[in-house]
């Protein structure tokens, strides 16, 4: 009896154990089924969709970057990161600078296990808060939370950029400070220029002194007067004066100044003086022009009943044989640009133009005269500063 009872107890324990195992298994299944797998569009910058940058040579766990003073566009994938917009940054691993200089690290892409987990030009981008910056020797160079590196003194150190999500994902910049603080200077070949509205001139650098690289930026004090391209090409927009500032990208305290004076065609060679008697002198004081309507317009009828009747105009300033040995001679036609030679005795060189008979000749605000019909007209040039001159 005792043995039979023991067996019964053992069977009851086994059944209870199986029930418990089944309950635990069901609970585990429920937990697994409740896990939500994020869809691709829900993945953040740190888990971005794969983008092929280097083909089969994808960095495994790395952050690649450029620097603000040397962010050049390149198309050589061996040295650069092919961004989704087909732009390319000049990515670097080492850099030589001078003490006193400053630049910003520009994160271009982060790779984890060979997959891009964030890039500068992707939709998500790489946010500054996703990275940590550290200098191996703060007495040589420091770096702040935004990746701005300030160079202190001669020596060597390493700037490490690390993902806050995974310490294995990082990049290192080997920094060599080859010289102490220098007396830096940018010297231009020319310091000023005068151009006509619509024309251009290019700023050229003669020399660099005490700067670790030759990368510069251009800016205009008045874009309405003159604009400047990234290569120093200045374009005149309207009459006036603008200052173009040339700034070193590695040391923004180092600057050079270029002054551009933009003039209209009538004022390009004008001598101006506030002193003396109020007077305006022109290059020419009379001109004969022929309006387009003065071209000979000849009615030509050929005797043949099947021929066409037509008018002919000669715009080539030459004799032309038409129809039955008909000669047509074009009258001289032209337009004129009034040019101011000298202005004296007024507060500024601004002038206005007015035609005495606009049906005969029209004049623009910049002194460009267009003949309208046969006749005589007087164009009056008046100082804006003194209407009596």
Whether residues 192 and 160 fall in one domain: no
- Whether residues 295 and 377 fall in one domain: yes
> Do 158 and 246 belong together in one domain?
no
Residue where a domain terminates, one of 243, 263, 283: 263
Containing structural domain, residue 197 = 185-263
* CA-wise closest residue to 147 among 160, 166, 164, 137: 160
pLDDT in tens, 365-382: 888 888 888 888 898 999
Does some domain include residue 128? yes
pLDDT in tens, 137-177: 999 999 999 999 999 999 999 999 999 988 999 999 999 99
Q: Is 240 a member of any domain?
A: yes
Does 15 fall in a domain? Answer: no
pLDDT tens string 282-334:
888 887 777 765 554 444 444 444 444 444 444 443 344 333 333 333 334 56
Residues 155, 66, single domain; the answer is yes
Q: How many CB atoms lie within 10 A of CB 186?
A: 21
pTM of the predicted model as reported, rounded to 2 decimal places: 0.64
Residues 72 and 154 in one domain: yes
Burial class of 97 by CB neighbour count within 10 A (0 to 12, 13 to 18, 19+): buried
Among 177, 196, 224, where does a domain finish?
Answer: 177
CATH classification of the domain holding 66: 2.60.40.1080
Whether residue 77 is found in the same domain as residue 150: yes
Confirm whether 173 is domain-assigned.
yes
Of 131, 155, 177, the one marking the end of a domain is: 177
Burial bucket for residue 216 (CB in 10 Å: 0-12, 13-18, 19+): buried
Task: Give the Cβ contact number of residue 135 at 10 Å.
Answer: 20
Q: How many domains does the chain have?
A: 3
Residue 107 pairs in a beta bridge with 65
């Amino acid at each position: 009896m005792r043995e039979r009872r023991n067996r019964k107890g053992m069977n009851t324990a086994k059944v209870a154990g199986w029930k418990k195992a089944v309950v635990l298994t069901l609970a585990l299944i429920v937990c697994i089924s409740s896990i939500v797998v994020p869809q691709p569009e829900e993945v953040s910058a740190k888990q971005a969709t794969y983008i092929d940058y280097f083909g089969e040579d994808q960095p495994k766990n790395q952050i690649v970057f450029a620097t603000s003073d040397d962010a050049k566009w390149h198309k050589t994938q061996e040295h650069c990161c092919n961004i989704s917009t087909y732009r390319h940054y000049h990515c670097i691993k080492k850099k030589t600078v001078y003490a006193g200089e400053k630049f910003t690290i520009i994160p271009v892409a982060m790779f984890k296990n060979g997959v891009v987990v964030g890039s500068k030009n992707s939709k998500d981008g790489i946010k500054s808060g996703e990275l940590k910056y550290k200098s191996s020797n703060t007495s040589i160079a420091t770096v702040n939370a935004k990746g701005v590196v300030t160079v202190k003194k001669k020596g060597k150190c390493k700037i490490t950029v690390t993902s806050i999500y995974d310490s294995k994902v990082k990049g290192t910049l080997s920094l060599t400070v080859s010289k102490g603080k220098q007396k830096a200077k940018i010297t231009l070949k020319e310091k000023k220029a005068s151009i006509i509205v619509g024309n251009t001139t290019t700023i050229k650098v003669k020399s660099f002194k005490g700067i670790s690289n030759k990368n510069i930026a251009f800016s205009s004090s008045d874009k309405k007067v003159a604009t400047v391209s990234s290569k120093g090409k200045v374009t005149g927009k309207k009459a006036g004066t603008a200052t173009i500032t040339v700034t070193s990208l590695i040391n923004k305290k180092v600057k050079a100044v270029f002054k551009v004076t933009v003039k209209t065609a009538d004022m390009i060679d004008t001598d101006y003086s506030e002193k003396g008697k109020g007077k305006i002198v022109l290059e020419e004081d009379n001109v004969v022009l022929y309006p387009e309507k003065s071209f000979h317009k000849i009615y030509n009828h050929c005797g043949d009943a099947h021929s066409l009747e037509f008018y002919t105009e000669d715009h080539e300033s030459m004799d032309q044989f038409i129809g039955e040995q008909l000669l047509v001679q074009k009258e001289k036609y032209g337009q004129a640009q009034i040019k101011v030679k000298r202005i004296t005795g007024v507060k500024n060189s601004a002038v206005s133009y007015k035609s005495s008979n606009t049906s005969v000749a029209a004049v623009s605000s910049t002194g460009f005269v267009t003949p309208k019909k046969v006749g005589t007209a007087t164009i009056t040039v008046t100082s804006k500063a003194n209407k009596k001159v």
